Amino acid sequence: MGIRLSPLGIAVFCLLGVGVIYHLYAGVLSSRIASFRQKRTVDLRDLLALSMEAAVQGGREVKRIREDNTLEEKSKGKTKEGASEKLTLGDLNSHRKMFYLIKNTYPYIQVNSEEHANAEGEATVWTRIIPEEILAKISGGKEVPAERITVWIDPLDATQEYTENLQKYVTTMVCVALDGDPVIGVIHKPFTGYTGYKVLALLDPNDEEQETADVYIHVTYIKKWDICAGDAILKSLGGQLTTLRGEQIDYSGTEGNNGGLLASIKTDHKALVKRLPPWEENKQ
């Protein structure tokens, strides 16, 4: 014989059932939130390995599309100086690989890219395999809060040269800034396979074919994804990169740098700043 409940009994039973379900759901949800909060830190060694993998994966797309001659070249506008800003399928495909590899791995860190593809995101997930050269040179455990990190990626630097098949100038770049200071820089050359990188005290910038200079001056507006990785590597070599007024560049916040650039190595940077004429910022 089944148990019959009065309307009041049914109401009480239902409320108890809802209460049990609510507490179960709330418990699961709170544990997931707690777990999520606990993971909102990033190991810089892991982030270096991920940055290198992102640059290499983007570079593969850049190289493949150039070799297949499927650039689908077009203009995305003009620079302040009136030059055409070219866009190719290499830029877009590299962006998708690099951006979503990083974002799928660490969805809670800020990632800024030169390109903004409207297509659905890649399902790429990092394998978390750290190269032996990194394991040998840097220990783990250098964890920092995710909110202190800003990542800048340039999916294809030197697009103009890319369309002209001047391969040695083409790079993919990833830079990680901690509180606005560039602490990881990765520059990858897709057509040679060279990858230079820097993280805190770790450095491997050697590229025998790279052109060198002791001083570099840039006077026009420039985006931070173009300079952040180079800034990180230059600093690791004992050089400096500042605005033309000698100010450090903050790699958090807005994407543009209006103050020009002065890069130097093996020279008195402050003395160079004093020798420059008065500087008025470019407004973009």
| Beta carbons within 8 Å of 202's beta carbon, 6+ residues apart | 48, 134, 137, 138
* pLDDT at residue 204, rounded to an integer: 56
What is the pLDDT confidence band of residue 125, given thresholds at 50, 70 and 90?
confident
Hey, how many other C-beta atoms are within 10 angstroms of the C-beta on 126? Answer: 16
* pLDDT at residue 2, rounded to an integer: 47
Binding residues: 114, 154, 156-157
Q: How far is it, in rounded angstroms, from Cα 241 to Cα 228?
A: 10
What is the pLDDT confidence band of residue 278, given thresholds at 50, 70 and 90?
confident
Is the model's pLDDT at 26 over the cut of 60? no
Expressed in angstroms, the distance from the first to the final Cα of the chain is: 82
Is the model's pLDDT at 20 over the cut of 50? no
Report the relative pairing of strands 195-199 and 171-178 from DSSP bridges: unpaired
Binding residues for Mg(2+): 114, 154, 156-157
Is the model's pLDDT at 222 over the cut of 50? yes
Ordered by start, the domain boundaries in the chain are 41-275
Q: How far is it, in rounded angstroms, from Cα 253 to Cα 236?
A: 23
What is the pLDDT confidence band of residue 76, given thresholds at 50, 70 and 90?
confident
Q: What is the pLDDT of residues 31-60, one digit of tens each?
A: 444 444 456 999 999 999 999 999 999 999
Q: Report the CATH fold assignment for 41-275.
A: Fructose-1,6-Bisphosphatase; Chain A, domain 1 (3.30.540)
Helix (H) or strand (E) holding 53: helix 44-68
In the DSSP assignment, the letter for residue 169 is G
Burial (CB count <10 Å: 0-12, 13-18, 19+), residue 121: exposed
Tell me the helices (H) and strands (E) count for the chain, helix number first: 7, 15
In order, the DSSP letters of 56-103 are HHHHHHHHHHHHHT----EEEEE-TTS-EEEE-HHHHHHHHHHHHHHH
